[in-house]
Chain A
Amino acid sequence: MCRLFAITSKTPLSPMVAVQALDVMREGHDGSGVGLFLRDLGGPFEEIKDAPILSGIFTDAGLKRLDAFMMDIGFMTKYKITIKVPKTTPPGVPRRDVYLIRAYEYPEEWEGLPAAELERRLLRTRLQLRQMGEEKQDMIVFSFWPDVIMLKEIGDPLTVARYLNLDRKELRARVIMAQGRQNTNYAINLYACHPFFIQGLATMTNGENTAFVPIREFLSSRGFEGYIGYQSDSEVFTHILHYTLHSLGLGIEAYKHVITPLMDEAIAAHPDAIMLKHLKHSCRRLIIDGPNCVIGCLGDHSLFMVQDRKKLRPGVVGGRPGIYAFSSEVCGLDAAIPDRDKSKDFQPMHLDTVIVGPDRQEIETCSQIDPLPRVA
């Protein structure tokens, strides 16, 4: 089982807050790896919110190929963070040449492009880099998106964080998602490490996705270039979210109706019965069936959490106006936000979607039996 932790705060926080929360929950994960997603960045990136940031791990040769490739398209480096690591690696952590976090200036020809086209090109660039890296095993690319940094590495989360010296000003962020990873199903591969990212959306999941193969087949056959990978059965949660929001044009409230639809009797009694029945029928291939807790971040910086239909995984949300955290366990929440009204902590159940919006003022909950917001 993995452990998840996400936090959203008015003032930028060090990633160590999340890593320490994971460490408190260490009984629940095997410390085989860590994945970090940082957004709404503080520090130097505050000034360059629109510049796409490339996050990944490169060999020296890979870095050269990256530079040539990016220059060729017309990307200019705007800002970069250099992570200098000690000479000796901690046990279980592989030696890497370069942990890259680099903000770029858009190519001149890209200026004035409609947002959708820009997003498509950013995705395509990331996929091209990923493919190049897979060919020569010299690059691993996590994200290429404005105001987003991702970092993943094999090893115990706290050890890795100290080794990479993550407690630094440049990495402060208002939204942080972190996952302590246990890799039970698939070979150790950083592309299998949560959180997963696609076009501004990120999710991480606790639990196994038993319906993985049919869902993967559905997503892969959509003809959308970004639906690839699937080294982990949890990556489909990110892509289903993307599909729900982008292709179906629905809101986050509908996400749970896609992955864990109501039973037929409950749909019949729902004010949006007709729409939900059609959604259930046509999205039947996206129904998850595993014990899963999904925590995700939307394009507007909202954080959300949903549970599987049987609510078989732990998950709690708590905090106070200005700072809220989503955690697999209460002890993780206690470690990050000890001074909160614990009576207001919320553990979403099988029908709930919990959202903390970009204003970070309250925990919003919506139940699947509530009417859906009117879609224009």
Chain B
Amino acid sequence: MLADRPITPSSLSVKDLPWQIAWDKEKCALCGRCTAVCPVQAIELGVFRKRLLTPSLDPKQQTGNTFATWYGVRQKTDPAHRCVGCAMCAMVCPNDAILPMRSDEADKLRFHINQGGQPRNRGGRRNMPGGILDRIKFTRISMLTDPALDAGRHEFELRTLLGRVLPPEQNLRFLRENGWIPPVRDIYPLVIGGMSFGALSPNMWEGLQLGVTYLNEELGLPVRICTGEGGCPPRLLRSRFLKYVILQIASGYFGWDEIIHAIPEMKEDPCAIEIKYGQGAKPGDGGLLMWYKVNKLIAAIRGVPAGVSLPSPPTHQTQYSIEESVAKMILSMSMAWGFRVPVYPKISGTSTALAVLNNLTRNPYAGGLAIDGEDGGTGAAYNVSMDHMGHPIASNIRDCYQTLVALGQQNELPLFAGGGVGKSGNLAANAAALIMLGASGVQVGKAIMQAAAGCIGSEADRCNICNIGQCPKGITSQDPRLYRRLDVDDVAQRLVDTVLSFDTELKKIVAPLGRSTSLPIGMSDAVGIDDYHAAKRLDIRFVV
């Protein structure tokens, strides 16, 4: 730095950044791959000058200076080019000469990442590791009173129902009298949550669809995938694979012109329609696809011009009140498919979830309720929404389930829980915990991205640049130079691996509890937690 370099309030040193690049001159081959791969150009070629003192003990020789010049990697410090810690530089370095290191103290960048009055906008997840789900243990182990089941050898039928289930008396009566029985789907309790075509790269989307198809058709696991709000490719709409897909409609209605027009040509009904009213990562805020990612293909599928940001409104434009508009929307969607497809709303976790639930219990066309907790992920949102808004999923689901029990409608209106399931890598344990608290199934996004595509984002604010389309793994990018890094078949293969291992782990959890023939929804006597207040709140056992 020059001595007269001006220092502004937002002048940061490397020390002030959350990620600092450690670079080893000795190992560096100066190949330039790291600077080329960096998604945010945080590093550049650096030319370094070093003064070499040449002292001499020989009085005849003059003592003096020489200057050497060498080349290396220099880290930029302006907020726009801060290192995001993705470590792609380390991944491509042939000599392991470079690595981003987490700062040993809270960064100062956070105070300056609002240049021009623009609050920080990013993708990813809530920057808060851990959570209550990881602390829930399965404590009711059958051993002598009841032999534990064998997860490897006994028969298992761990399925769940999506759609409105009638009370038994009514169901049998309608069956006799030819009454209308709401459509119900028998599905796997792990649903791949709504990640749109646009938020995800074409390769990622195709890989997930391929994996889901393989799981269904070759392995007999009825895993379903939700489109998110971005429409659905026309060929998929007209294929038999549509039955594995939950079509999402949200406040921007992106892609729905295409979908509605495809209805007469659909060979199969979709699995369900999800009406998104809220999202856990950014409650009360609409979806957002930033202009970087709106290329011609995305624009065509969504029915919008290319190159503009696509912020969905925070709420549906037609929404006036829950009594009217939600009911009307559920009815319209049901009607579009001749009442053969379950329709359910998805809301973000909120302390007002019970009001929504109570309303839905009185609506015979409501096929369920999905709740997305504060740990849900997103392709783009304001940092403040992600980190500070929303409701934890565990108590939200538990309250809803217990309300349904009080009404005698548990499992008639299935609850699906999302937001942070598998956040710390404990996908099956988190899912099982939520199921035993009362969820009929879980919706998973980030954990699938991490396992199936190698997403490197973390709760320590690593990477999290899904919003600008520079995903270094090609998962959330629309730039072919980036997304060609992701092989469609590899994603499918990894998804299958992930679901199969989830299935085995789920069996390893429920079998010792003595359950195998039905998913233990609401089996709250099986779980405990080492926090007295959490146990009280969730109405489960306090164990230490």
Contact = CB atoms under 8 A, between A and B. Distances in A.
Interface of A: 184-185, 207-208, 210-214, 217-218, 221-223, 243, 247-250, 260-261, 263-264, 274-275, 278-279, 281-285, 287, 289-291, 309-310, 312
B146 A291 contact: yes
B294 interface: no
Given A214-B521, A282-B167, 14 more contacts: A208-B145, A210-B140, A213-B522, A213-B525, A217-B405, A243-B168, A248-B168, A274-B175, A282-B166, A285-B410, A287-B517, A289-B517, A289-B520, A310-B149
Given A213-B525, A217-B405, A263-B155, A282 B142 contact: no
A214 B147 CA distance: 20
A79 to B, nearest CB: 39
Contacts of A282: 165-168, 171-172
A249 to B, nearest CB: 8
A207 B181 contact: no
Contacts of B140: 210
B520 A247 contact: no
Nearest to A184: B145
Contact of B181 (A278, A279, A283): A278
A240 to B, nearest CB: 11
B461 to A, nearest CB: 40
Given A211-B523, A285-B411, A279 B155 contact: no
A310 B168 CA distance: 25
The listed residue with most B CB atoms (<10 A of its CB), out of A247, A263, A279, A281, is A281
A279 B406 CA distance: 22
If over half of A's interface residues share one DSSP class (helix, strand or loop), that class is named, otherwise mixed; here it is: loop
B518 A287 contact: yes
A276 B516 CA distance: 19
Contact of A185 (B145, B165, B172, B515): B145
B514 interface: yes
Contacts of B520: 211, 214, 289
A212 B525 contact: yes
Contacts of A214: 410, 520-523
Given A213-B523, A217-B405, A310 B184 contact: no
If over half of B's interface residues share one DSSP class (helix, strand or loop), that class is named, otherwise mixed; here it is: loop
B175 A289 contact: no
B168 A247 contact: yes
Contacts of A264: 157, 159, 186
B433 to A, nearest CB: 15
Contacts of A184: 145
A279 B514 contact: no
A302 to B, nearest CB: 23
A245 B471 CA distance: 60
7 contacts: A211-B515, A263-B157, A279-B171, A281-B184, A285-B410, A309-B517, A310-B154
A184 B171 CA distance: 37
B411 A208 contact: no
A335 B516 CA distance: 36
Contact of B146 (A208, A213, A274): A208
B408 interface: yes
Nearest to A310: B154
Nearest to B525: A213
Contacts of B406: 221
Interface string B508-520: 0000011111101
A35 to B, nearest CB: 18
A247 B408 CA distance: 15
The listed residue with most A CB atoms (<10 A of its CB), out of B140, B155, B172, is B172
Contacts of B410: 214, 217-218, 221, 285
A281 B165 contact: yes
A213 B145 contact: no
B537 to A, nearest CB: 18
Contacts of B172: 248-250, 275, 278-279, 282
A284 B161 contact: yes
Nearest to B438: A214
